[in-house]
Structure 1
Amino acid sequence: RNALLWSIIATLMVPMQATLIPTFILVAGAGGVNTLWGLILPTLANAQAVFLIRQFVMDMPDELFDAARIDGAGEWRTFVSIVLPLIKPVLATLAIFVFLWHWNDLLWPLVVGQSDEARTLTVGLATLNTETVSTSNIMAAALISFVPCFLIFIFLQRHIVESITASGIKG
Protein backbone atom coordinates (compact mmCIF):
# COMPACT_ATOMS: atom_id res chain seq x y z
CA ARG A 1 0.00 0.00 0.00
CA ASN A 2 2.76 2.43 0.87
CA ALA A 3 4.58 1.76 -2.40
CA LEU A 4 1.41 2.53 -4.34
CA LEU A 5 0.82 5.69 -2.31
CA TRP A 6 4.39 6.90 -2.83
CA SER A 7 4.20 6.20 -6.55
CA ILE A 8 1.01 8.28 -6.73
CA ILE A 9 2.58 11.08 -4.67
CA ALA A 10 5.69 10.96 -6.88
CA THR A 11 3.53 12.05 -9.81
CA LEU A 12 3.09 15.40 -8.03
CA MET A 13 6.77 16.09 -8.68
CA VAL A 14 6.41 15.71 -12.45
CA PRO A 15 5.47 19.05 -14.01
CA MET A 16 2.38 19.13 -16.19
CA GLN A 17 4.43 20.43 -19.11
CA ALA A 18 6.49 17.22 -19.09
CA THR A 19 3.40 15.08 -19.58
CA LEU A 20 1.65 17.44 -21.99
CA ILE A 21 2.75 15.79 -25.24
CA PRO A 22 2.15 12.16 -24.16
CA THR A 23 -1.25 13.11 -22.75
CA PHE A 24 -2.14 14.94 -25.95
CA ILE A 25 -1.15 11.90 -28.04
CA LEU A 26 -3.43 9.69 -25.89
CA VAL A 27 -6.33 12.16 -26.08
CA ALA A 28 -5.89 12.65 -29.83
CA GLY A 29 -5.77 8.89 -30.37
CA ALA A 30 -9.04 8.53 -28.47
CA GLY A 31 -10.67 11.31 -30.50
CA GLY A 32 -10.73 13.84 -27.67
CA VAL A 33 -9.31 16.85 -29.49
CA ASN A 34 -11.87 19.68 -29.70
CA THR A 35 -14.23 17.91 -27.30
CA LEU A 36 -15.35 18.75 -23.80
CA TRP A 37 -14.31 15.37 -22.40
CA GLY A 38 -10.87 15.83 -23.95
CA LEU A 39 -10.48 19.01 -21.91
CA ILE A 40 -11.72 17.63 -18.61
CA LEU A 41 -11.02 13.90 -18.38
CA PRO A 42 -7.19 13.80 -18.52
CA THR A 43 -6.80 16.13 -15.55
CA LEU A 44 -9.77 15.02 -13.46
CA ALA A 45 -8.08 12.34 -11.36
CA ASN A 46 -4.99 13.71 -9.72
CA ALA A 47 -2.57 12.71 -7.01
CA GLN A 48 -3.46 15.68 -4.81
CA ALA A 49 -7.07 14.46 -4.56
CA VAL A 50 -6.00 10.90 -3.77
CA PHE A 51 -3.61 12.11 -1.08
CA LEU A 52 -6.10 14.53 0.50
CA ILE A 53 -8.92 11.99 0.68
CA ARG A 54 -6.59 9.27 1.98
CA GLN A 55 -5.26 11.49 4.76
CA PHE A 56 -8.77 12.50 5.77
CA VAL A 57 -9.95 8.88 5.90
CA MET A 58 -6.82 7.82 7.81
CA ASP A 59 -7.63 10.42 10.49
CA MET A 60 -11.11 9.00 11.08
CA PRO A 61 -11.43 7.21 14.42
CA ASP A 62 -11.08 3.43 14.21
CA GLU A 63 -14.05 3.14 16.58
CA LEU A 64 -16.38 4.14 13.73
CA PHE A 65 -15.19 1.24 11.59
CA ASP A 66 -15.23 -1.16 14.55
CA ALA A 67 -18.83 -0.21 15.37
CA ALA A 68 -19.84 -0.78 11.75
CA ARG A 69 -18.13 -4.19 11.77
CA ILE A 70 -19.91 -5.12 15.02
CA ASP A 71 -23.24 -4.09 13.48
CA GLY A 72 -22.53 -6.48 10.60
CA ALA A 73 -21.86 -3.88 7.93
CA GLY A 74 -19.64 -4.93 5.06
CA GLU A 75 -17.01 -2.80 3.37
CA TRP A 76 -19.46 -1.22 0.91
CA ARG A 77 -22.06 -0.46 3.61
CA THR A 78 -19.36 1.06 5.83
CA PHE A 79 -18.19 3.24 2.97
CA VAL A 80 -21.69 4.45 2.07
CA SER A 81 -22.96 4.91 5.64
CA ILE A 82 -19.88 6.20 7.45
CA VAL A 83 -17.07 7.29 5.16
CA LEU A 84 -19.04 9.03 2.42
CA PRO A 85 -21.03 11.34 4.72
CA LEU A 86 -17.88 12.25 6.66
CA ILE A 87 -15.77 13.09 3.60
CA LYS A 88 -18.27 15.61 2.20
CA PRO A 89 -16.11 18.57 3.31
CA VAL A 90 -13.06 17.10 1.58
CA LEU A 91 -15.06 16.42 -1.57
CA ALA A 92 -16.43 19.98 -1.47
CA THR A 93 -12.92 21.36 -1.05
CA LEU A 94 -11.66 19.21 -3.91
CA ALA A 95 -14.59 20.26 -6.08
CA ILE A 96 -13.65 23.90 -5.52
CA PHE A 97 -9.96 23.22 -6.21
CA VAL A 98 -10.58 21.12 -9.33
CA PHE A 99 -13.15 23.55 -10.73
CA LEU A 100 -10.87 26.54 -10.20
CA TRP A 101 -7.93 24.63 -11.64
CA HIS A 102 -9.86 23.73 -14.79
CA TRP A 103 -11.50 27.13 -15.05
CA ASN A 104 -8.19 29.00 -14.89
CA ASP A 105 -6.14 26.52 -16.93
CA LEU A 106 -4.67 28.06 -20.06
CA LEU A 107 -2.12 25.61 -21.45
CA TRP A 108 -4.17 22.39 -21.76
CA PRO A 109 -7.25 24.07 -23.34
CA LEU A 110 -4.93 25.95 -25.70
CA VAL A 111 -3.42 22.66 -26.88
CA VAL A 112 -6.55 20.49 -27.00
CA GLY A 113 -9.15 23.09 -27.99
CA GLN A 114 -7.93 23.79 -31.49
CA SER A 115 -11.19 25.24 -32.84
CA ASP A 116 -13.00 28.34 -31.63
CA GLU A 117 -15.94 26.23 -30.41
CA ALA A 118 -13.72 24.17 -28.10
CA ARG A 119 -11.79 27.05 -26.56
CA THR A 120 -12.40 27.99 -22.95
CA LEU A 121 -13.06 31.40 -21.46
CA THR A 122 -9.48 31.65 -20.18
CA VAL A 123 -8.14 31.18 -23.70
CA GLY A 124 -10.64 33.78 -24.92
CA LEU A 125 -9.48 36.26 -22.29
CA ALA A 126 -5.87 35.69 -23.29
CA THR A 127 -6.68 36.38 -26.95
CA LEU A 128 -8.51 39.59 -26.00
CA ASN A 129 -5.27 41.10 -24.75
CA THR A 130 -4.41 43.03 -27.90
CA GLU A 131 -3.90 46.69 -28.71
CA THR A 132 -7.34 46.99 -30.32
CA VAL A 133 -9.30 45.85 -27.24
CA SER A 134 -9.64 48.34 -24.41
CA THR A 135 -8.62 47.43 -20.89
CA SER A 136 -12.14 48.11 -19.60
CA ASN A 137 -13.56 45.45 -21.94
CA ILE A 138 -10.96 42.94 -20.79
CA MET A 139 -11.74 43.70 -17.13
CA ALA A 140 -15.48 43.32 -17.79
CA ALA A 141 -14.85 39.92 -19.38
CA ALA A 142 -12.63 38.93 -16.44
CA LEU A 143 -15.38 39.92 -14.01
CA ILE A 144 -17.89 37.81 -15.93
CA SER A 145 -15.47 34.87 -15.80
CA PHE A 146 -15.26 35.28 -12.01
CA VAL A 147 -19.01 34.82 -11.44
CA PRO A 148 -19.11 30.99 -11.87
CA CYS A 149 -16.14 30.60 -9.51
CA PHE A 150 -17.91 32.69 -6.88
CA LEU A 151 -21.16 30.74 -7.28
CA ILE A 152 -19.39 27.38 -6.95
CA PHE A 153 -17.69 28.56 -3.76
CA ILE A 154 -20.94 29.91 -2.27
CA PHE A 155 -22.74 26.67 -3.11
CA LEU A 156 -20.05 24.37 -1.66
CA GLN A 157 -18.95 26.39 1.36
CA ARG A 158 -22.01 25.16 3.27
CA HIS A 159 -20.55 21.63 3.36
CA ILE A 160 -17.23 22.92 4.66
CA VAL A 161 -18.83 25.08 7.37
CA GLU A 162 -21.14 22.23 8.45
CA SER A 163 -18.17 19.92 8.93
CA ILE A 164 -16.29 22.49 10.98
CA THR A 165 -19.36 23.04 13.15
CA ALA A 166 -20.02 19.31 13.55
CA SER A 167 -16.42 18.52 14.47
CA GLY A 168 -16.45 20.82 17.50
CA ILE A 169 -15.82 19.35 20.93
CA LYS A 170 -19.06 18.38 22.61
CA GLY A 171 -19.33 18.47 26.36
Structure 2
Amino acid sequence: MNSEHRSGPSTSLRVRRRTDPDLGECVRVLAEVHERDGYPVNWPDSPDIWLTPSKLVSAWVAESNGRVVGHVGLSHSGEADAAPAVWSARTGAGAEATAVVSRLFVAPSARGLGIGALLMEQAVTTARDHGLHPVLDVVSSDTAAAALYERLGWRPLATVEQIWGPEQAVSVRCYTAPAAP
Protein backbone atom coordinates (compact mmCIF):
# COMPACT_ATOMS: atom_id res chain seq x y z
CA MET A 1 0.00 0.00 0.00
CA ASN A 2 1.30 3.42 -0.93
CA SER A 3 -0.16 6.59 0.45
CA GLU A 4 0.72 10.13 -0.44
CA HIS A 5 0.30 13.16 1.79
CA ARG A 6 1.07 16.83 1.38
CA SER A 7 2.70 18.48 4.37
CA GLY A 8 3.18 21.97 3.06
CA PRO A 9 3.66 23.89 -0.15
CA SER A 10 6.99 22.24 -0.97
CA THR A 11 6.91 18.93 0.90
CA SER A 12 5.45 15.73 -0.50
CA LEU A 13 5.30 12.76 1.86
CA ARG A 14 4.78 9.20 0.73
CA VAL A 15 4.66 5.93 2.67
CA ARG A 16 5.44 2.83 0.64
CA ARG A 17 6.64 -0.71 1.13
CA ARG A 18 10.33 -0.94 1.84
CA THR A 19 12.38 -2.65 -0.84
CA ASP A 20 15.82 -4.23 -0.55
CA PRO A 21 17.50 -1.27 -2.30
CA ASP A 22 16.07 1.00 0.47
CA LEU A 23 18.07 -0.73 3.20
CA GLY A 24 21.21 1.38 2.71
CA GLU A 25 19.25 4.62 3.12
CA CYS A 26 17.37 3.16 6.09
CA VAL A 27 20.67 2.31 7.79
CA ARG A 28 21.94 5.85 7.10
CA VAL A 29 18.84 7.39 8.69
CA LEU A 30 18.98 4.92 11.58
CA ALA A 31 22.61 5.95 12.24
CA GLU A 32 21.50 9.61 12.44
CA VAL A 33 18.74 8.66 14.88
CA HIS A 34 21.12 6.57 16.96
CA GLU A 35 23.64 9.40 17.17
CA ARG A 36 20.99 11.94 18.17
CA ASP A 37 18.58 9.88 20.29
CA GLY A 38 20.37 6.67 21.25
CA TYR A 39 17.91 4.48 19.32
CA PRO A 40 18.46 1.65 19.10
CA VAL A 41 19.98 1.40 22.58
CA ASN A 42 22.55 -1.13 21.33
CA TRP A 43 23.82 -0.44 17.83
CA PRO A 44 23.46 -3.73 15.89
CA ASP A 45 26.47 -5.44 14.31
CA SER A 46 24.47 -5.67 11.06
CA PRO A 47 21.87 -2.88 11.00
CA ASP A 48 20.39 -4.09 7.70
CA ILE A 49 19.70 -7.51 9.25
CA TRP A 50 18.34 -5.84 12.41
CA LEU A 51 15.85 -4.00 10.16
CA THR A 52 14.77 -7.33 8.65
CA PRO A 53 14.00 -9.66 11.58
CA SER A 54 13.04 -13.26 10.79
CA LYS A 55 9.39 -12.77 11.81
CA LEU A 56 8.92 -9.62 9.71
CA VAL A 57 5.49 -9.36 8.07
CA SER A 58 6.28 -6.16 6.19
CA ALA A 59 8.20 -2.90 6.45
CA TRP A 60 7.60 0.56 5.05
CA VAL A 61 9.57 3.70 4.44
CA ALA A 62 8.45 7.28 4.43
CA GLU A 63 9.81 9.51 1.71
CA SER A 64 9.92 13.27 1.74
CA ASN A 65 10.50 14.72 -1.70
CA GLY A 66 11.81 11.34 -2.87
CA ARG A 67 14.27 10.81 0.01
CA VAL A 68 13.87 8.11 2.69
CA VAL A 69 13.22 9.85 6.02
CA GLY A 70 11.48 7.20 8.11
CA HIS A 71 10.87 3.50 8.65
CA VAL A 72 8.56 1.10 10.48
CA GLY A 73 8.26 -2.67 10.58
CA LEU A 74 5.51 -5.09 11.52
CA SER A 75 6.41 -8.55 12.81
CA HIS A 76 4.83 -11.65 14.24
CA SER A 77 5.41 -12.05 17.95
CA GLY A 78 8.83 -13.32 18.98
CA GLU A 79 10.39 -14.46 22.25
CA ALA A 80 12.09 -11.08 22.79
CA ASP A 81 8.81 -9.14 22.55
CA ALA A 82 7.18 -8.35 25.90
CA ALA A 83 3.95 -6.67 24.72
CA PRO A 84 2.35 -9.75 23.09
CA ALA A 85 2.63 -11.77 26.31
CA VAL A 86 1.31 -8.92 28.45
CA TRP A 87 -1.60 -8.33 26.04
CA SER A 88 -2.32 -12.07 25.93
CA ALA A 89 -2.40 -12.30 29.74
CA ARG A 90 -4.80 -9.34 29.88
CA THR A 91 -7.17 -10.48 27.14
CA GLY A 92 -6.96 -14.27 27.27
CA ALA A 93 -6.17 -14.34 23.53
CA GLY A 94 -2.99 -16.00 22.35
CA ALA A 95 0.11 -13.94 21.64
CA GLU A 96 -0.07 -15.27 18.07
CA ALA A 97 -3.10 -12.98 17.60
CA THR A 98 -0.79 -9.96 17.82
CA ALA A 99 1.49 -8.14 15.43
CA VAL A 100 4.42 -6.17 16.83
CA VAL A 101 5.08 -2.67 15.50
CA SER A 102 8.83 -2.14 15.61
CA ARG A 103 11.87 -0.41 14.16
CA LEU A 104 10.06 2.94 13.96
CA PHE A 105 12.33 5.90 13.38
CA VAL A 106 12.23 9.27 11.64
CA ALA A 107 15.22 11.31 10.50
CA PRO A 108 15.89 14.18 12.91
CA SER A 109 15.72 16.66 10.00
CA ALA A 110 12.23 15.43 9.02
CA ARG A 111 10.50 15.51 12.40
CA GLY A 112 7.39 17.54 13.00
CA LEU A 113 5.81 16.62 9.66
CA GLY A 114 3.61 13.80 10.97
CA ILE A 115 5.81 11.06 9.49
CA GLY A 116 5.80 8.93 12.64
CA ALA A 117 2.00 9.01 12.73
CA LEU A 118 1.76 8.07 9.03
CA LEU A 119 4.11 5.12 9.50
CA MET A 120 2.21 3.95 12.59
CA GLU A 121 -1.09 4.20 10.71
CA GLN A 122 0.31 2.02 7.93
CA ALA A 123 1.53 -0.65 10.37
CA VAL A 124 -1.74 -0.68 12.34
CA THR A 125 -3.86 -0.91 9.19
CA THR A 126 -1.81 -3.81 7.87
CA ALA A 127 -1.94 -5.66 11.21
CA ARG A 128 -5.70 -5.33 11.30
CA ASP A 129 -6.00 -6.35 7.64
CA HIS A 130 -4.24 -9.59 8.70
CA GLY A 131 -6.66 -10.05 11.60
CA LEU A 132 -3.94 -9.26 14.16
CA HIS A 133 -3.95 -6.88 17.12
CA PRO A 134 -1.09 -4.32 17.06
CA VAL A 135 1.15 -4.04 20.13
CA LEU A 136 4.62 -2.64 20.76
CA ASP A 137 7.43 -2.37 23.28
CA VAL A 138 9.44 0.80 23.86
CA VAL A 139 12.41 1.41 26.13
CA SER A 140 11.05 3.32 29.15
CA SER A 141 13.64 6.06 28.77
CA ASP A 142 12.39 6.88 25.24
CA THR A 143 9.83 9.42 26.39
CA ALA A 144 9.47 11.04 22.95
CA ALA A 145 8.37 7.74 21.39
CA ALA A 146 6.01 7.02 24.29
CA ALA A 147 4.49 10.50 23.89
CA LEU A 148 3.87 9.83 20.17
CA TYR A 149 2.18 6.50 20.87
CA GLU A 150 -0.01 8.00 23.55
CA ARG A 151 -0.97 10.96 21.29
CA LEU A 152 -2.04 8.37 18.72
CA GLY A 153 -4.31 6.69 21.29
CA TRP A 154 -2.10 3.73 22.22
CA ARG A 155 -2.68 2.55 25.78
CA PRO A 156 0.07 1.46 28.16
CA LEU A 157 -0.30 -2.14 29.34
CA ALA A 158 2.63 -2.52 31.73
CA THR A 159 6.26 -1.73 32.33
CA VAL A 160 8.46 -4.82 32.48
CA GLU A 161 12.14 -5.55 32.78
CA GLN A 162 13.86 -7.40 29.95
CA ILE A 163 17.30 -8.98 30.05
CA TRP A 164 19.21 -8.01 26.92
CA GLY A 165 22.51 -9.52 27.91
CA PRO A 166 24.53 -10.82 30.82
CA GLU A 167 24.89 -7.33 32.28
CA GLN A 168 22.01 -5.42 30.69
CA ALA A 169 18.53 -5.26 32.18
CA VAL A 170 16.25 -2.79 30.42
CA SER A 171 12.88 -1.40 31.47
CA VAL A 172 10.36 -1.43 28.60
CA ARG A 173 6.83 -0.11 28.34
CA CYS A 174 4.30 -2.31 26.59
CA TYR A 175 1.49 -0.69 24.59
CA THR A 176 -1.66 -1.82 22.84
CA ALA A 177 -3.20 -0.08 19.84
CA PRO A 178 -6.43 1.86 20.23
CA ALA A 179 -9.64 0.02 19.43
CA ALA A 180 -10.38 -0.30 15.73
CA PRO A 181 -12.70 2.42 14.41
Does the alignment reach a TM-score above 0.5? no
TM, length-normalised to structure 1: 0.29
TM, length-normalised to structure 2: 0.28
* Structure index of larger Rg: 1
Which structure would you say has the larger RCO, counting Cα contacts within 8 Å and 6 or more residues apart? 1
Q: If each structure's strand is expressed as a fraction of its own residues, which one has the higher value?
A: 2
Q: If each structure's helix is expressed as a fraction of its own residues, which one has the higher value?
A: 1
